[in-house]
Amino acid sequence: MSQQVTQEILSELESLRLIDPHTHINPLSAASETLADIMGYHYYTELAHSAGLAKEKIEEPGISPKEKVGRLIPWLATIENTAQYSWLLEMCKVFFDFEDDRITEANWEGLYDKSLTKMQADGWEKQVLETSGLDQVYLTNDFDDPLTGFDTNFYVPCLRTDDLVFHLTKPEVRARLNKCTGADAADAKSLRGAIGQLFTHFKANNVRACAISLPPDFSPEKVSDAVADDVVSKAFSGKELSECEHKSLSCFVFWTLAEFCVEHQLPFDLMIGVNRRVFEAGVFQGQDLYDKRVSLIQYKALFNAFPQVTFPVSVLSETSNQELVSYSWIFPNVVTNGHWWYSNIPVFIEKDTRARLQAVPQTKQIGYYSDMYKLEFALPKFAMYRRILARALAQDFVVDRGWSVEKAVELGKLVLRGNVEKIFGGIG
């Protein structure tokens, strides 16, 4: 019975068009141009590197797209067991009419050439979007992004603020801020004004959220005006800050962002717990990892201080997910958000999804986002999540609780799309 119910629910979920609420898409070059754009995604390069392919072979300057793919192909045999390989195979079958069950040294060149023909045809981007069933794609925009040259009603801007919070001591970041705002920040008031200009610019271009990726040791807190003035003036005059002063600067900017989220009625996406450059010899984007020392108790002051702000929270580990479930259970302004990075594996997704569905109000769950860099990845990633969601709804709600299939589908659609529209503002 469960398998039949699962298929009934899945069929309904597969018919639902989607909004992808977090990606790294470049809207000026959204779809892949060669198979190297797909296989150059960090999942494949870092897995191949982990299995033994030298970093220098992957990142050799001037290497052609086809040569890069050719160097990765022999290593696919070592990762056929992974979820990431299943995404690759599904993309090739759906988008490029690939008919084999494996991508090998004997068949990859035919696949490469066929995919190249399809990608270079007029309307490839539109075809990918239609096949994937996407109505909107949310972006990750640098704070100084002019937000021009694309339709912001479809490719929706999101103000990414990592550089502002953690890297204002770098001259190049301060120069970017001064250039895009016309401000010459010298104290807390002028820096606050410059940040306000960023929000005004993004708000005028259909921004739907502010977002940041946060290290495990960050604990946001309000900073006094006197301390803020001192650390901002030192930073913008190029003086070196102590570790304590650097933390105060980060906290001041972060708290200011939250205040502007109140003013502009924006959610503040928090992606919590990543350590940068753990594997220093890793490939590009394959150096960062997490640890379990992070706790959401570090955000107690923030969640209490800003009840008007919705905080969609992403975490990286099972233990953090259980904590996130509890915080979303208690705090009205904390929302579970997707399955981020190292949690984006079926076994973790299933456990985390079932916990959220069983414990968190159904209106406070954003089921999934792709985190993709190229449009083709939305299809296999969301397909993976929909299959897992359908199984959880079938077993835990229809079989175990006696829900109707229709009621379970309604919950699935709310998690997949309805809450995205409610929390971020929907289409238009």
Strand partners for 19:
136
Mean pLDDT value across residues 254-279: 96
Mean pLDDT value across residues 234-241: 93
pLDDT over threshold 80, residue 415: yes
End-to-end CA gap in the chain: 41
Helix axes 405-413, 2-14, angle to 10 degrees: 40
What does the pLDDT read at residue 294?
Answer: 93
Identity of the residue numbered 425:
G
SS3 33: coil
Summarize pLDDT for 108-145 with one digit per residue, the tens: 999 999 999 999 999 999 999 999 999 999 999 999 99
Identity of the residue numbered 12:
E
What does the pLDDT read at residue 318?
Answer: 87
pLDDT over threshold 90, residue 168: yes
**Listed residue (248, 263, 144) closest to 196, CA to CA:** 263
Summarize pLDDT for 328-370 with one digit per residue, the tens: 999 999 999 999 999 999 999 999 999 999 999 999 999 999 9
Mean pLDDT value across residues 400-423: 98
pLDDT over threshold 80, residue 410: yes
Q: How confident is the model at residue 1 (pLDDT cuts 50, 70, 90)?
A: low
Farthest-apart Cα atoms in the chain, separation:
69
What does the pLDDT read at residue 258?
Answer: 98
Phi then psi dihedrals of residue 312, to 5 deg: -70, 120
What does the pLDDT read at residue 291?
Answer: 87
**Listed residue (345, 276, 285, 334) closest to 309, CA to CA:** 334
Summarize pLDDT for 47-81 with one digit per residue, the tens: 999 999 999 999 999 999 999 999 999 999 999 99
Mean pLDDT value across residues 169-188: 92
pLDDT over threshold 70, residue 423: yes
pLDDT over threshold 70, residue 7: yes
Residue 367 DSSP class:
-
Strands (E), 267-401: 268-272, 274-275, 289-290, 311-314, 334-337, 365-366
Identify the burial level of 214 via C-beta atoms within 10 angstroms of its C-beta, where 0-12 means exposed, 13-18 middle and 19 or more buried: buried
Strands (E), 170-228: 210-214
Summarize pLDDT for 85-101 with one digit per residue, the tens: 999 999 999 999 999 99
- The DSSP annotation for 95-132 comes to HH---SSS--TTTHHHHHHHHHHHHTSTTHHHHHHHHH
Tell me how far apart the alpha carbons of residues 266 and 259 are, in angstroms, rounded to a whole number: 10
Residue 416 DSSP class:
I
Find the range with the poorest average confidence among 23-37, 160-174, 272-286: 272-286
What does the pLDDT read at residue 185?
Answer: 84
Mean pLDDT value across residues 293-317: 97
Cα within 13 Å of Cα(96), Cβ side: 26
Taken in order of first residue, the domains within the chain and their CATH numbers are 34-119 (1.10.2020.10), 129-424 (3.20.20.140)
Report residue 25 as tokens: 């898409």
Summarize pLDDT for 204-228 with one digit per residue, the tens: 999 999 999 999 999 999 999 999 9
pLDDT over threshold 90, residue 426: no
Angle formed at CA 30 by CA 27 and CA 33, multiple of 5 degrees: 145
Query: Is the C-alpha dihedral spanning 303, 305, 310, 313 positive or negative?
Result: negative
pTM higher than 0.85 for the full model? yes
pLDDT over threshold 70, residue 428: no
